[in-house]
Amino acid sequence: MNGHPLVDAPMPGTPEWLRLMSASKIAAVVGLSPYESRFSLWFRMSGLLDPEPDNDTFRRGHYLEPAIAEWFADKHPELTVEPGQTWALDADDRITATPDRLLFDISDVPCAVLECKSASDMDGWGPAGSDEIPVGYRAQVQYQMHVVGVKVAYVAVLLPFLSFREYRIDYNEAEAAQLIKAGQEFMDSLAGQPAEQRPDLDAHTATYETLRELHPDIDPDDVELPETVARDFCDTRYALADAEAAERLARARVLDALGNAKRAMYLGSTIATRQPNGDRAPKLVAGRNLPTFNANRSAA
């Protein structure tokens, strides 16, 4: 076993909790979180930015977690499902994990951990019983398994249309070790000077919002930008205008091809759908997971 239960563990969201590298933060550290960037997390954990406020996504998970755990327990009478608790790594008590539930078989030590999730769409979720889950959640449970010292994690999820699924993730020692190292290096960076240690800027929405929060006042000053910063901003603005014009033309071509039809298809993939738009004319909505025609471009 790599870790031990942490006595008097701090509550999530408190300043004390922000000083720990919990499993829920590791996805942001390695750039896999849709909600938080490495940059925004660094400023929150350094105390230079207020803790992230509660939101509908967090509240939804809080309310649904007991029901999802109960569903999993009913599916697995061979396991005892107990409330989770915070564990700390023996070798570094900054590294912590708080699984939603701990699972026991015939032993008095955990045999697995359980994470309870809910999702508003199917992105990243594979067939039931597989190990195909969103990459950020995979990082979270690999990290948890290492700290708690178990070899199996289950992820139970409530998906759209009230569909329950469960996924089994097996421990990967190399993957977990990389995550633990990344967490430790991130914690080390918090001890340095902000100008020297802060993460690089990135394209994550949370990074942009963090910079807005860091500078809420407007002083009557001018700043001369470096040429590279000014050039990048201007070039991308012109490129955005060109891309928006090209996208409008592409939409017009799809609408023209559809006529009164509902769905535009290409080799079995849904390209776009005409949907009702209140009292206005139908709107065109792009499909999910559009085919990739350019080998150098990731799928939208």
Per residue in 14-45, pLDDT tens?
888 889 999 999 999 999 999 999 999 999 99
Same domain, 41 and 179: yes
Residue 166 shares a structural domain with residue 242:
no
- Residue 300 domain-assigned (yes or no): no
Token pair for 282: 């139908």
Q: Is residue 294 part of a domain?
A: no
Listed in sequence order, the DSSP H helices in the chain are 15-18, 23-29, 38-45, 56-75, 135-148, 173-189, 194-197, 205-214, 227-258
Q: What is the pLDDT of residues 172-224, one digit of tens each?
A: 999 999 999 999 999 999 987 555 688 999 999 999 999 999 999 999 999 99
Mean pLDDT confidence for 232-251: 98
Residue 18 lies in a domain: yes
Mean pLDDT calculated for residue range 258-274: 96
φ and ψ of 231, to 5 deg: -65, -45
Q: Please say if the pLDDT value at position 167 is more than 70.
A: yes
- Assess whether 99 and 155 both reside in one domain: yes
Does some domain include residue 37? yes
Same domain, 69 and 178: yes
**Domain identity same for 199 and 63:** yes
Taking alpha carbons only, the member of 106, 99, 145 closest to residue 1 is 145
Separation between Cα atoms, residue 278 and residue 284, nearest integer Å: 13
Reported as a pLDDT band with limits 50, 70 and 90, residue 128 is very high
Q: Of the residues 188, 213, 238, which one is the last residue of a structural domain?
A: 213
Q: Which of 213, 237, 253 is the last residue of a domain?
A: 213
Task: Give the pLDDT confidence score for residue 292 in this predicted structure.
Answer: 87
pLDDT reported for residue 54: 72
209 and 264 inside one domain: no
* 27 & 150 share domain: yes
Specify the number of domains making up the chain: 2
Q: Are residues 231 and 207 in the same domain?
A: no
Q: Are residues 85 and 232 part of one domain?
A: no
Is pLDDT above 90 for 50?
no
Residue 298: pLDDT over 60: no
Q: Look at 194 and 90; give whichever has higher pLDDT.
A: 90
Let me know: does 152 contact 168? Beta carbons within 8 Å: yes
Least confident of 56-65, 235-244, 272-281: 56-65
Within-domain flag for 56: yes
Q: pLDDT: is 49 or 219 the higher one?
A: 219
- Give the list of residues 6+ apart from residue 269 with CB closer than 8 angstroms, or none: 287, 289, 290, 291
pLDDT band at 61 (very low <50, low <70, confident <90, very high): confident
pLDDT at 18: 87
Statement: residue 90 has pLDDT above 60 = yes
- On whether the CB atoms of residues 148 and 99 are closer than 8 A, the answer is yes
Do 17 and 103 contact (CB within 8 A), yes or no? Answer: no
**What 3-state DSSP class applies to 24?**
helix
Within a domain: residue 120? Answer: yes
Q: Which of 213, 237, 260 delimits the end of a domain?
A: 213
List the one residue out of 208, 249, 240, 1 whose CA is nearest residue 102: 1
Q: Could you say which DSSP state residue 27 is in?
A: H
Instruction: Look at residue 196 in the predicted model and tell me its pLDDT.
Output: 63
**Residue numbers of the domain that contains 185:** 3-213
Q: Is the pLDDT of residue 59 over 70?
A: yes
Average pLDDT, whole number, for the chain? 93
**Residue 294 pLDDT > 90:** no
Helix axes 135-148, 173-189, angle to 10 degrees: 90
> Which pLDDT belongs to residue 229?
98
Predicted confidence at residue 296, as pLDDT, reads 61
